[in-house]
Structure formats: C-alpha cells, structure tokens
Structure 1
C-alpha cells in the first residue's frame, strides 16, 4: 500500500469514527489494566459485565490484594481462564503496592514485568491511560493489517512495528482503536463486509466480498 493510500485509509476511518475509544469500561488506569488482563480470550462485553459488579466493591490495588483470589473468582467466573486471571490480578496488585506505591507504572518495561501483562496489554495501557503513541496488535489488528495490505507481517510484533513505521503521525494516537473497531465490526474474519466498508477503495484484499443481489419481489397472483 502506498503512503498516499495509507493516509486516505486512516482519513476515512477517522471520518467514520472521529472519537474512537476502548470498549472496556474503566474510570482509572488501574481499572483499565485489570480489564485488559481479564479480556484475554474473552469479549469486552463479557468483561464489562463482570467489572460492573467487581469495581464498585474493589477497584484499587489495595482492595484487590485484600480480596484475594478466591473471592475475586466469584466476580469473574463468567470469564474464560478466570482462575489464572484471578491469580494474576491479585499478584499484580500486590506488586503495584510493593514496588510502585499503588500506581500503574508508565513504562513498558515495568508494565510487562507485572503478572498477566504482555506487550499488547502494555500497549493498551500506555496508549489509553497515558496517551502514548503505541499500537496494540490483537487478532483484529493483525487481520486488518495483513488483509488490506496496510502492514503485512508474519506475527503480531512485525505488524506492530510496521504500523508504527508506516502510519502517518497525525493518526498514530488512535490508530489501533480504528483498526480494532474496523476489524471487529466490518473487516470480519469469515466474511468481511466489503460492500459497506469505508476503505474498500484503498484496501488491497483481492477477494473482496460482492454486494448481495437485491431480493426478487414475488408477484402476488389474484384469485
């Protein structure tokens, strides 16, 4: 994809979604960190249902560390891998208290040292909570980057680094939100909605789905 195409690609996504936001409900950097840890192999909607009950009871490192794994599991048991996630969230909360004064760190190295936090989670927190120009590559961003020709890569790190290199600077802050939402609602895995896609002219996917033919009207025969 040429630089001109990439610029138009993001311009159109911005026009369609002028103020993109994370779909994980949160009010603080810590709530966001917990929500992103819980969202691994789970839907944002499912996480929001769980955290709507959890956060009014415990939404700080001190409260979650005191709650412990067993009680936390009762709140998040509807989410996949909830036992491991409860263990990670409690351990992460204790480390924040012991090493960071209860605050979420603003460095990638410190974030990735926390239990349950990988590169993608760190990128989300750095971008959404602290305004860093990072790009979190999940399955949606990976698919869009490869399918459209925007930033092809064999793994998520290669796609991330390529996106950071080729995304026009004015779009970097919200780039991963636009790509996630585009992949989630338009550039679907099984059957992309190409006829209604705002970037179909810039997209280099060779097998675009055609528009559905109009339904034939049945003629009623009088009796």
Structure 2
C-alpha cells in the first residue's frame, strides 16, 4: 500500500474518532510531579510509576522536599522502578537546578526543560504539552512503533519520527495525536502480537496482511 497524504489523513481521522478521549495515564497534580513521573517512566510502565509516585509524593512532592529527603532515601522510594540509581541521581540534580535557577518551579519552554538532568526530547515534550499546553509530539516506544507501521512518519530514530509526525499532523492536533498513538499502541498495535484483526486502521495500514 502506498501511503499518500489522503491515507494519512484517513489514519488520523480514525485515530481521533476511536481515541478522542485519550489522556495521560500518569497520575500527577503539578508540573513538577508530572516531570518526575515522566523521568521515572523510562523503561517502566505507567502503572508501576503511579504506584511509586503515590508513595514518593506523600513524602516529597516539591524540589525542595526531594533535596531534603536525600539521595539514599530517594533511591529507596523509587527502587522498584527500573534503573533507579541513575534516575535518582538525575532527579536530585534536576531538583537542585530547579531551586537554583527557577525558584523551585518547572520551566515551560522546551529548551529549558531539555537542559535539565535526565530530561530528553520525549520528557521535555510531554511536560511542555501536558503541563503547559504547548503543541508537541513526544515519541515514546509506542508512538515510534505505530508511526513506522502506519508509515505515517518513518524514521530510524525518535527524533526523525517526531519531525515526520510534525509534518503529517496539523499543529493544533500534535498533543492530542500523541495520546491517540500511545493508546493505540497499548491496546491494539502491540509490539509482539498486534491485534490486527481487531484494528480499526487495518484498511489503511500498509503493515496489515489479513
């Protein structure tokens, strides 16, 4: 199947119709809590992150409180969320940066977020989009997989796929489309055993071989 602009528009229309109410599954109350949750979500499920953050945020939910908690105690709080040593180190460094440079507040701009320890393009895009309403497309493993399978945006790196999606999707729908793609990846187009026969996109998917 040759994926034309018209096919891409049909793919997006279906995704929007099916996942119109898609929203983040991470639980948070402030931009800072969202930032920490997204840092923790690397190589970890949102379900597990929500368990960890529910425990952590009861004790420390601000940069100042996490600094006061200390590195060892932070590691203990997040130990069941993969790569906890590295994540704790980055979270602590980010908290110091937020206190020293931003009066304990999370900056809104993508470039400022990207400069924080442990924050990559995906995390910066999620926080800029979800916490502050900036149009952005965060490419996680689900978005990367779905974009390539649909040929909605093809690339060998998350950044290549991000740029492709920015061209394929109207800017006002970037943030929403990010959630459509994630939900589709989690519910239907799974990594190992995609549920192709149940997929609402099968008629416009170049990877479907039913």
TM-score when normalising by structure 1? 0.89
What root-mean-square deviation, in Å, do the aligned CA atoms of Structure 1 and Structure 2 show? Answer: 1.2
Mind listing any 5+ residue stretches in structure 2 that lack a counterpart? none
Match of 2:200, SS?
coil
Q: 2:24 aligns with which of 5, 22, 25?
A: 22
Aligned 8 A contact 2:63 2:99 in 1: yes
Matched with 2:13 is 11
In 2, are the aligned partners of 1:7 and 1:168 still within 8 Å (CA)? Answer: no
Cα distance in 2, alignment partners of residues 84 and 96 from structure 1: 18
Which residue matches 1:172?
Answer: 174
Contact 1:148–1:204 (CA<8 Å) still a contact in 2?
yes
Does structure 2 conserve the Cα–Cα contact (< 8 Å) formed by 1:88 and 1:116?
yes
Q: 2:108 aligns to what SS in structure 1?
A: coil
Counterpart of 2:202 in 1: which secondary structure?
A: coil
- Asked if the contact 2:34/2:127 (under 8 Å) is kept, the reply is yes
Corresponding residue for 1:151?
Answer: 153
CA distance in 2, matches of 1:174, 1:34: 21
Q: 1:170 Cα deviation (Å)? A: 4.5
Q: Name the residue aligned to 2:107.
A: 105
Which residue is 2:93 aligned to? 91
- Counterparts of 1:27-46 in structure 2, within 5 Å, are 27-46=29-48
Give me the whole-angstrom Cα distance separating, in 2, the residues matched to 1:5 and 1:103. 43
Q: So what's the TM-score if we normalise by structure 2? A: 0.95
Structure 1 residue runs of 5 or longer lacking an equivalent are 211-223
Cα deviation digits, residues 56-90 of structure 1 (max 9, x gap): 21111111111111111121111111111111111
Task: List 4+ stretches of structure 1 deviating above 4 A.
Answer: none
How many aligned positions are there?
208
1:133 aligned residue? 135
Give the CA deviation at 1:166.
1.0
CA drift at 1:3: 2.1
Structure showing greater relative contact order (alpha-carbon pairs closer than 8 Å, 6 or more residues apart): 2
Which one has the largest radius of gyration?
1
SS for the counterpart of 2:175 is: helix
Q: State the match for 1:203 in structure 2.
A: 205
